[in-house]
Amino acid sequence: MKRLIFACSLLLASGTMGLADGLFWVVGNRATGKCNIVTSNPVINGDIWFGDGPYKSKDDAKLARSTIRACPALTPDEQKAEDGAG
C-alpha cells in the first residue's frame, strides 16, 4: 500500500511540473522598474513585486503586459530587441 501511495505521489508531482512547460508570466521588477516576461512561475519577494499569469503564449503575455498599469510602455528599441530574442 505504501508503494502505491508513493508511486501515485511521484506521478502527480511529475505531472504538475510538466503542466508549467510552455507557459509565460508577466513580472514587475523593482530593480529595473520594468515588467519582464518569464517562463517560470515567479516567486514574489525582493525585487519581484508582482506576477501575473500564466499565459499560454508569449503574445498573450505581451498583450497582458500592455494592459497592466504598473508596467511602463516599451520603447521601440526595446520592442525590437524583444522580438528578435523571442
Q: Is 53 left (phi over 0), alpha (psi -120 to 50) or beta?
A: left
Amino acid at 44: I
37-79 tens-digit pLDDT: 999 999 889 888 999 999 999 999 999 999 999 898 888 888 8
Q: What's the CA gap between 58 and 22, in Å, rounded? A: 9
18-47 tens-digit pLDDT: 445 799 999 999 998 999 999 999 988 988
Q: What's the CA gap between 60 and 71, in Å, rounded? A: 15
- Domain positions in the chain: 24-85
Does the predicted TM-score (pTM) go above 0.85? Answer: no
